[in-house]
Amino acid sequence: EQVFQGRSLLAEKDFTREELEYLIDFSAHLKDLKKRNIPHRYLEGKNIALLFEKASTRTRAAFTVAAIDLGAHPEYLGKNDIQLGKKESVEDTAKVLGSMFDGIEFRGFSQKTVEDLAKYAGVPVWNGLTDDWHPTQMIADFLTVKEHFGKLAGLKLVYVGDGRNNVANSLLVTGAILGVNITICAPESLFPTDGLVEMAQKFAEKSGSKIEITADVAKGVKAADVLYTDVWVSMGEEDKFEERIELLTPYQINMEMIEKTGNDDVIMLHCLPAFHDTKTQYGQEIAETFGMREMEVTDAAFRSKHGLQFEQAENRMHSIKAIMAATLGNLFIPKV
């Protein structure tokens, strides 16, 4: 039975532990094939639409290279290129794109948009990040963790920072499904919503994962295997710099926090882009306006032996390849 074929990836909660584990392991397999120059053209002759309402480096690059490696043609449709949601409804756009393309990636604001695309397109739709979730990121992240530790279940992953954004939501739920212990360490006003914590608890009861939500940094990071952070201000909320800097400064990943884990082998992950110095135009503006030269992670922590963010970024490509090949490829996957 081909349980992946034809399916969309809109949110992690729609997939079982076994299915997510399969995607992680399949990513590792495709990574190995790529490293050994062995062709893996599971999507020969297919056409993939890449819809972006928000900016992207990794997700766009990963989908593009993954599609081409798989033998498919990727077509980028940016927010100024198509009528989506402005002059043409999501429903109509989905019907048209679905009649021409074999699969559609969408990155944007509303989760409802990606759900409606999937509802009307009639082809697999992959969520490349919405305000609520970042599911393709999760396959790469847990692949990176599994490569490093050789296992997932029972590890302690601590996310510090904005506990309400897409990446935090996804880590909480995906970790709970996979049996990884997840701590969200954030100021109370940025705790994940009650509904989300409840959802994660339900998954955790089944997987054996432990869920902890705390504002206490020392307690939260203690004995962490993985420290994870993300930007304090996500795309679309650029008016929140001042309040986030005020709230989140104690939650910065720096060498002192790494020491507080008590684990010299702790790894640090970040989905990127990261604000760790003032070498960017953005960094200079924040430094001038708010006096912050580093935000969610210090340059020292970022460049330390703990930081695996670039391995993690590379894994976006291998894992997106696995997601597309599993849901759209002509391959037989036994029921997992």
Mark the segment that binds ligand NVA (CB under 6 A) among 165-173, 187-195, 201-209, 321-329.
165-173
Among 221, 143, 232, 132, residue whose Cα is nearest residue 185: 221
Which amino acid is located at 196 in the chain? L
Binding residue count for ligand NVA, defined by CB under 6 A: 9
Active site residue 225: no
3/272 with CB nearer ligand CP: 272
Rg (CA), the chain: 19
| Beta bridge mates, 227 | 158, 268
Sole binder of ligand NVA in the list 12, 19, 132, 230 (CB under 6 A): 230
Least distance to ligand CP from the beta carbon of 314, Å? 12
Decide if 293 is catalytic.
no
Beta carbon of residue 130, minimum distance to ligand NVA (angstroms, whole number): 9
Please confirm, yes or no, whether 316 is among the known catalytic residues: yes
Q: What's the rounded Cα separation, in Å, for the pair 35 and 229?
A: 29
From the list ligand CP, ligand NVA, none, partner contacted by residue 99 (C-beta under 5 to 8 A by kind): none
Please say whether the beta carbons of 124 and 5 come within 8 A.
no
DSSP tag of 192? P
Selected binder of ligand CP within 8, 56, 144, 315 (CB under 6 A): 56
CA-CA-CA-CA torsion sign (288, 292, 294, 298): positive
Question: How many CB atoms are located within 10 Å of the residue 81 CB?
Answer: 11
- At residue 241, φ and ψ (nearest 5 deg) are -55, -50
Can you tell me which of 118, 231, 297, 326 binds ligand NVA, judged by CB under 6 A?
Answer: 231
Is 134 one of the annotated active-site residues of the chain?
Answer: yes
Give dist(CA 303, CA 300) in Å, integer: 5
Helix-helix angle 166-178:135-149, to 10 degrees: 50
Binding residues for ligand CP restricted to 257-286, rule: CB under 6 A? 271-273
Encoded one letter per residue, x for contact with ligand CP by CB under 6 A and - for no contact, window 103-142 reads --------------------------x-------x-----
Residue 271 bears catalytic tag: yes
We find the least distance from the C-beta atom of residue 154 to ligand CP, in angstroms, to be: 26
Q: Is 162 a catalytic residue?
A: no
Residue 238 burial (C-beta neighbours within 10 Å; 0-12, 13-18, 19+): exposed
Q: Per 3-state DSSP, what percentage of the chain is helix, strand, and coil (rounded to 5)? A: 50, 15, 40
Contacts with ligand CP, residue ranges (CB under 6 A): 56-59, 129, 137, 271-273
Residue ranges of the binding site for carbamoyl phosphate:
56-59, 83, 107, 134-137, 271-272, 316
Residue ranges of the binding site:
56-59, 83, 107, 134-137, 166, 230, 234-235, 271-272, 316
